[in-house]
Amino acid sequence: MELIQVSNLIVFVLIVGYVGLGWKFWTGFTRTNFTPSLLNRIALSVLWPALFIANQSYRRNFRKALKG
């Protein structure tokens, strides 16, 4: 029973982190070098974990967006 509670807590923390950092990126998007279009903003906000891991330029821009 405890294992289920711990795994639920981990899933909850991951979801909160994903949504929280995605929202922070969304609100700081204007500080990045990305083209300011709604589609671009949505895609880059939703896909941030994969892009953060795979792309150095995205990591720099992501950090700029979070420094608000």
pLDDT over 80 (residue 17): yes
Nearest to 45 by CA among 64, 61, 20, 23: 23
pTM, two decimals, is 0.87
Q: Output the CA torsion sign for 35, 37, 38, 39.
A: negative
Nearest to 21 by CA among 48, 53, 60, 44: 48
Tens digits of residue pLDDT in 32-43: 999 999 999 999
43 three-class SS: helix
In the chain, where the domains are located: 17-67
